[in-house]
Chains A and B, each alone.
Chain A
Amino acid sequence: MYRLITVALLSALLPGAGVLAAPPAAPPANPIDKLYAQVTPSLVAVQYTLDTELGRRDLCEGGVVVSSDGMVIAPLAMFAPVIPDVQMKDFKIIVPRHLAEPREVNAIFLGRDERTGLAVLKPQSSEGVKWVPVNFQEIPIQVGEPVISVGLLPKAAGYRSYVSRSRVAAEIHGAVPLMLVASGQLTVTGSVVLDAQGQAIGFVNATAGQQILLNDNQNRLAAIINPPTFFVPTSDFRLTLKDPPVAGHPMKLPWIGLPQVASLRKDVAQFFHLENQPAVEIGDVIPGSPGDLAGLKRGMKIVKLNGQPLQCGDDPNDVAQIFARKILRMKVGQKITLSVLTDSNQPLKQVTVTLGERPPGVSTAKRFYDDALGLAVRQIVFADTYVRKLPADQKGVIVALLKPQGPAQVAKLQDEDLILQMNGKPVTGVEEFKKDFQQLRRTQPQEPIVFVVLRQGQEQTVRIEAPQ
């Protein structure tokens, strides 16, 4: 009954979107039917269980099979780098079936690819499943060209595929070098975009504000109520298809050590005689980073990368983001040459930088949770020391989660507090914290625990009543 209501709702929500509720029994009669039938077997949903200290929740979004062994790409948004890897469990590839329950295939998470904004999974076993990959093509796309997108309806509609016609309305050049705007509606995030000839030319990746979950329990149809209007061409994610992440080996990303790079505004560029030359200004250099070792300094203006002028987007302020993304798509150990202006009257200086490896982020940081205290802590990472102006080798653990109304929250411990001491003993890392904490609870179960934390540059003493 619910499904009937859902289909009725969908018909009302998607006027002109060409919703095809059931695959035709006879061979497709028109090109859209044909394209729909061609792509449907390649569309899957990807799901994992987010297993946090406070509870479990299944998250599901659309994905596309890209290889005959079942490799699937999906928007990175659902696998955001701030989510600890250890909290993502029970990966599944959900294969929709006509007039039958979708088939759930256990999957392996290959990893995130921040270069392209994708996550990649593959099935643990392909037994009984025939994977039909989409062959993405790098074909120039013209404004005005008609396009067709095919994606999956939410779980509430049985993950059935649906199709929508649209037209390329504009090109946007920004941090993502080329993004295309559709004049009509596209199908849900995680859909394939085809040209009139049926060639797969792009992917509907997640954009800010777009609902991506296909199994949102609060609003079952959230993913299609506000349909996407942007897609990226194959060239944007070709890197992932050629060089996908490897399971258990987080992708090594290049790092130059310039955390504050700003696009040079037009009037500042004129002041430094850099008219019509896109440039970025170095705002900060991490000591000991590749940029620092190469001699880059605050205030220098980068004008060229490997002899090529920096690229300017539609908005001049995008230069810095485009530059950062270019670096991100390079290799660790790669040598690059930056042409920098040190002073307005000086010739450009050539600086060669050997790209290092980006320091680990929070997704791989070790964690420890104590339910009685209602407190999860995690290992300190480079970004934590940078924002707090602390030395890179600063010891301590970061408050990662506070259970609502738990003793730690009631005692006014705060998210992102850096715990420096526990009962007078310096905290060095998560393992030591865990060991000392458990010993304290064993030997002094009735005694309060006293933390010294660093919060906004000031030390604070926090006394937590012994959990009973």
Chain B
Amino acid sequence: MACSAAHGPNSRKQGLLAWGPGVLLLCLGLLSGCGSLPWAEPFPAATPRRVVEVTQLIFPAVVRLDVAKEVYRQGKRSVERGIGSGVIIDAQGHILTNYHVAGRATQIDITLANKERVKGRLIGDDHWTDLAVVQMDMDEIHRRHISFNWATMGRSDNLVPGEVVMAVGTPFGLARTMTLGVISNADRTFYDVAPHLRIDGEYETGEFSNWIQMDTPINPGNSGGPLVDMNGKVIGINTRGGGQNLNFAVPIDTAREVVRAILRTATPEHKGYVERSDLGLDLMPLQGLETFYNIDINHGVLINSVERGSPADKAGVRSQDILLAINDHPVNVRFPEQIAPARKMIADLPVGSTVILTLRRGSRVLKLPVKTWRLLSAVGEERELKRWGMSVRQITPAYAAEHQLDDTLGAIVTTMSPGLPASKAELRPGDIIRRVNGKVVRDVDAIAGLYRQTLTQKDGLVLLQVQRGRGLQSFVLKLSGAEDDPDAAAPVPLPEGTAPPR
């Protein structure tokens, strides 16, 4: 670790001066946790020898993750198993990986480079950046005298196309697989083709940073593994494979902030998280529109739409306004690549703080105070209503906006168990339960409470008022053999050593 500690943020250029190629791998293999080679160059040649050295350096820090994840299927809370990769990032055994590998994990088994297997726990996750932090069971590590190495995080703000990089991971379960390639583009955006990406078709992702695009082969199971430069530093987390050598990694600069936030907020009882602000604005680049809006080139960003009921809406911001500055800091988005940084600028505002938006509306310039609120996903908290045979989800403001709902009252039916009351009554996923036995459902907590009450009903008949599309419809659930089940609808205890979802 000592050798890597010498490398600061500007290590590429400094390293070229400070370290000569003659300084060889004196400490390599002797010091666990040595995260990079003892020299650094801007773009070292990927000589066969260098490639082997970097591979030997990074391999001990890369792990295989066998994950059981919380999912709701057929009305039940259950687990889904999968394999992914991760990279150990510190002496405390923290592992950086993808949200889509370890997010919502209830059980994690970690296989180290030395083939030892240890238990792990989810420390925190963040689907917005598709990242998660896992920690090895350090008691077990010490008890069993297991050694491990960790990698050093590099920088991703100075990458250049053509630079040689390697990916290490567990493609198709084949642990410790190294593949080599080059950076194809260091600032890739999908804004033009898919302005809003989703994980599993639900969880918003890729909003706040652009991607590293590389031709390094990536396959299922590589996810969460490190993308490493020829200095042996982690510059990204391999996340998406696009086929035909079009692959994508989350930049390490993004990951570094997420790791910090997760470790800062994680407690033994609760997952760590990243808190972000939201104003309810959908931004759009101004390229080609400057003349139309009569503004200078690279000056401001177009407000494409304003989410109904959001802070910006309440403050009087309108679509077609040009946002010029936030708290007098200019926001300039001419090109799609500038969208993610602008979104991040908003996300980084303190939650609940009042900010001043400088807007151009026609020929006028306005300054509007707006109080930010916490960024929430369209995917709300999910609950299992076991005896009804269904799972339901909270309606978040983002979900209500996406589905043009008038409010957030009720609970969304997500899945149902065949043969159980909800399925027999012919409810459908996407139905919104508005009332239970005539009582208004405010949210998932309320429906869980009403659910428990129905379990003691003698007649076992539950009248639901359901919104389907624009219409309201009645459904009756017939509960057979009603009995008291006070634990139902409460979160199911998670396996030992795993933090419950926040």
Contact = CB atoms under 8 A, between A and B. Distances in A.
B387 to A, nearest CB: 16
A2 interface: no
Contacts of A270: 476
B189 to A, nearest CB: 16
B292 A423 contact: yes
Interface in A432-456: 447-448, 450, 452, 456
Contact of B476 (A260, A265, A284, A387): A265
B319 A262 contact: no
Interface stretch (A34-42, A60-68, A367-375, A458-466): A458-466
B450 to A, nearest CB: 17
Contacts of A458: 282, 304-305, 307, 401
B320 A267 contact: no
Nearest to A284: B471
A459 B319 contact: yes
B470 A268 contact: no
A461 B406 CA distance: 24
A260 B305 contact: no
B413 to A, nearest CB: 16
Interface residues of A, number: 33
B57 to A, nearest CB: 46
B456 interface: no
Contacts of A283: 468, 470-473
B471 A260 contact: yes
A272 B304 CA distance: 48
B476 A271 contact: yes
A452 B319 contact: yes
B469 A260 contact: yes
Contact of A448 (B292, B302, B469, B476): B292
A314 B292 CA distance: 61
A262 B292 contact: no
A375 B231 CA distance: 54
A389 interface: yes
B473 A281 contact: yes
Interface string A265-302: 10110111000000001011000000000000011000
A394 B422 CA distance: 38
B465 interface: yes
A259 interface: yes
Contacts of B306: 459
Contacts of B284: 461
A128 interface: no
A463 B192 CA distance: 13
A388 B404 CA distance: 8
Given A271-B463, A284-B470, A265 B304 contact: no
A452 B320 contact: yes
B305 A450 contact: no
A460 B305 contact: yes
Given A260-B469, A458-B282, A268 B292 contact: no
A450 B289 contact: yes
Contacts of B457: none
Nearest to B284: A461
Interface in B251-308: 282, 284, 288-289, 291-292, 302, 304-308
Nearest to B435: A299
Contacts of B289: 448, 450, 461, 463
B476 A267 contact: yes
Nearest to B477: A267
A284 B472 contact: yes
B474 interface: yes
| Interface magnitude class on chain B | 20 to 34
Interface of A is mostly: mixed
Contacts, number: 88
A457 interface: yes
A281 B474 contact: yes
Contacts of A387: 470
A396 B319 CA distance: 17
Given A460-B304, A461-B304, A265 B470 contact: no
A423 B470 CA distance: 33
Contacts of B307: 458
Most buried by B among A264, A283, A421: A283
Given A448-B288, A450-B289, A298 B472 contact: yes
B399 interface: no
B118 interface: no
A463 B288 contact: yes
Interface in A394-450: 421, 423-424, 447-448, 450
A457 to B, nearest CB: 4
Nearest to A260: B471
- With most chain B CB atoms within 10 A of its CB, the pick from A260, A267, A459 is A267
Nearest to B421: A267
A265 B425 contact: yes
A346 to B, nearest CB: 14
Nearest to B469: A260
A268 B404 contact: no
B254 to A, nearest CB: 27
Contacts of A265: 425-426, 475-476
A387, A447, A463 pick with most chain B CB within 10 angstroms: A463
A447 to B, nearest CB: 8
Nearest to A261: B471
Interface in A232-269: 259-260, 262, 264-265, 267-268
Contacts of B473: 260, 262, 281, 283
Interface in A342-375: none
Interface string B420-434: 000001100000000
B461 interface: yes
B465 A386 contact: no
Contact of A299 (B319, B461, B465): B465
Interface in B403-445: 404, 406, 425-426
B363 to A, nearest CB: 12
A424 B476 CA distance: 51
Contacts of B476: 265, 267-268, 270-271
B404 A459 contact: no
Nearest to A412: B192
B240 interface: no
Contacts of B478: 267
Given A452-B320, A458-B282, A268 B471 contact: no
Contacts of A463: 288-289, 292
Contacts of A272: 474
Contacts of B426: 265
Nearest to B462: A271
A54 to B, nearest CB: 26
B470 A259 contact: yes
A463 B288 CA distance: 8
A458 B195 CA distance: 14
Contacts of B463: 268, 271
A181 to B, nearest CB: 26
A259 B306 CA distance: 30
Contacts of B406: 389
Interface in A295-312: 298-299
B364 to A, nearest CB: 14
Interface string A20-57: 00000000000000000000000000000000000000
Contacts of A268: 463, 474-476
Given A262-B473, A460-B305, 6 more contacts: A271-B474, A281-B473, A284-B471, A284-B472, A389-B406, A450-B292
8 contacts: A260-B472, A268-B463, A270-B476, A281-B473, A283-B471, A388-B404, A421-B320, A424-B292
* Interface pairs A-B: 10 shortest CB-CB: A283-B471, A260-B471, A457-B404, A459-B319, A458-B305, A459-B305, A267-B476, A284-B471, A271-B476, A268-B474
Interface of A: 259-260, 262, 264-265, 267-268, 270-272, 281, 283-284, 298-299, 386-389, 421, 423-424, 447-448, 450, 452, 456-461, 463
